[in-house]
Amino acid sequence: MAHPRTLVLAASLGLAFSSMTHAAPASPTVQAAQAANPFLKVSPLPLQYPQFDLIRDEHFAPAFQAGMAEHLKEVAQIAGNKAAPTFDNTIVALEKSGSLLTRVATTFSNLHATNTNDTLDAVDQEMAPKLAAHSDAIHLNPQLFKRVETLYAQRAKAGLDAESKHLLEKYYEDFVRAGAKLSAADKEKLKALNAEIATLESAFTQKVLKELNASALVLDKREELAGLPENAINAAATAAKERGLDGKYVIALQNTTGQPALGELTNPQVRARLMAASLARGSHGGEFDTQDTVKRIAKARAEQAVLLGYENFAAYSLADQTAKNPSNVNQLLAELAKPAVDNAKREGADLEKIAGGPITAADWQFYTDKVRAQRYAFDEKQLKPYFELNSVLENGVFFAATKLYGITFKERKDLPVYNPDVRTFDVIDANGKPLAIFLFDMYARGNKQGGAWMNEYVSQSSLLGTRPVVANHLNIPKPPAGEPTLLTFDEVTTAFHEFGHALHGMFSNVKYPRFSGTNVPRDFVEYPSQVNEMWAVWPEVLANYAKHYKTGAPMPKELLDKVTASGKFNKGFVTTEYLAASLLDQKWHQIKPNEVPTDVLAFEAAALKEAGVDYALVPPRYRTTYFSHSFSGGYSAGYYGYLWAEKLDADSVVWFKENGGLLRKNGDWFRKTLLSRGGTADAMELFRNFRGRDAVIEPLLERRGLNKK
């Protein structure tokens, strides 16, 4: 995932704050507190790296206030400029504005996702509607829009370079999509809806995270954890002790429906309890129930879309994506649904044979490992000793990047971090010059959002003279002190995936911050990261990092061969659970305001049945009630994007293989034509520049095992 939910920039508070500019001077105590706020000045650390050692929770609210006030003042000067609008005095000026607000909003959004607490949750709840209003105050400013509209009408004769012309077009599109052409009355309606949506999304995020922690499975006896490796059992004991449950064991949940421990727990009753706890999240009443929040978000988004002239929210959301409209997305998902479910049902039949009878969704992963062991003579337990975290990172992820792009990494201990487990690295370009700073936050925590993602603290821009500070976040269970961190193969792949996003940010070479790094259409942003997954199993890379954590012995070739041979194994399950979630995301966002259901779970069940993906053994990867991507994570009506991007990814992997694989010339070409370009041109144009043609779907069908009847 490219980003967790990011805060929108906004302004009712900014307006109120600006009205206080002629108030009496602040007291010496208040002045001292303001001066100590690290956000009020650009960080003096390398590449403007955040001063985590100085940042305190109480700094955020006043920094937001100051940032919004400053931004509105800058925007007012641009809008009120008596000179005729020019690209420089309007568009470039807007690109340069809001630096303080960007600084605090970016850092807050990142820390709220990775290291939250009750204070930050409260700040998020308070600021979400105010920031939405701030965005409205800018985009719905008629004086400002008139300047943008005038420049847009004159763009053909303005003599702008390609990137500047594209920027002007995007600014005009942003304003129109934000409601700049609405009547005054409708603008007021839109402002209210935007504030409501921002507040509800914040509430959804917090409920999901809190229930994720509250729903952890508590076990009384060690034997109930039979099947788990010793370090996982020790970690469960440590987790229980941290909760004040000495002598018990706690299996923490991840935000996906499936849970890693389901593949190893031998007790079917414990597996059933774990799956039941996962599936029930957000839907069984109480303070963390999200059903009402979901309905309110769906209704408000639908009303927002209709107000802006679209049939539904999906139509609005997809209009500026590469997919363009819901019909194209529906067609892709429908074409794949039946072959995916057919594949999954064949896999399910195989599992029931080895189980000796019917199984449930809680048993799928457990018997999958047994079928894999029977068919390919290996299971996940054989792999994990060869996937030690540091080796995966430095000898795998970094090694592949060095071979492909010539960049190198040097860990540094002098930069402050927000959690002692976070590691920082200087990234040096092939020419020996500093390229970026990379943060690696690998472990799961109770105050960290689930899943994995990349974000940026500082984005590259030649206009602003900034270089990237980029972070990757995983949710790997932390072992007890002194024990190694051994990864599953999925976690290894995720590490490579997220670093693909990091490369997209680090290699950015654009002028305007609007186009930096991963600022591309949402259904394109996953493409470079998915390409980077290929190196996880590339023989030269795998041989370099897949070494036994105790002996240093390389993974035996026969085991490597079995991993490769099993590449299409369980793809029916993987594709079906993903499609089910993608279809739910579309269903919720293709309804009209008067079609919002009263019963969330009944709506979900009917949607899955209608789409033909209601296979009980394979529930959606995310159910509606904890579907953070869709209801608070920036992927609303966009979860299909992983599959949409995979079509491009699978075709690109063919290109790399046809051209020799892990070679500098290949990496340099991918970097030059695509990774460095950010959002400076149409996304599919960038793909064609790299690939030499449009993508074809056959590599995707082959990869997913969907090209066979």
Active site residues: 498
Give DSSP secondary structure letters for 238-281: HHHHHTT-TT-EEEPPPSSSS-GGGGT---HHHHHHHHHHHHTT
| Of 185, 196, 178, nearest in space to 308 by CA | 178
Max Cα distance, the chain (Å) = 81
Q: Which residues 6+ apart lie within 8 Å of 441 measured at CB?
A: 114, 419, 421, 422, 471, 472, 473, 474
Residue 86 CA to residue 107 CA, distance in Å, equals 32
Residue 8 CA to residue 680 CA, distance in Å, equals 22
User: What are the distances in angstroms from CA 183 to CA 20, 180, 307?
Assistant: 30, 8, 10
Residue 26 in tokens? 């602040």
Three-state DSSP state, 472: strand
Map 303-359 to HEC letters: HHHHHCCCCCHHHHHHCCCCCCCHHHHHHHHHHHHHHHHHHHHHHHHHHHHHHCCCC
Residue 31 in tokens? 């002045």
Residue 174 in tokens? 């942003």
CA 345 to chain centre: 30
Residue 696 CA to residue 402 CA, distance in Å, equals 29
Place of tokens 């802006």: 308
Position 516, amino acid = S
- Region label for 81, one of left (φ > 0), alpha (ψ between -120 and 50) or beta (otherwise): beta
The phi and psi torsions of 470 (rounded to 5 degrees) equal: -120, 145
| Of 125, 268, 295, nearest in space to 206 by CA | 125
User: What are the distances in angstroms from CA 36 to CA 23, 54, 101, 238?
Assistant: 21, 9, 17, 38
User: What are the distances in angstroms from CA 150 to CA 135, 154, 156, 166, 342?
Assistant: 21, 6, 12, 15, 55
Three-state DSSP state, 436: strand
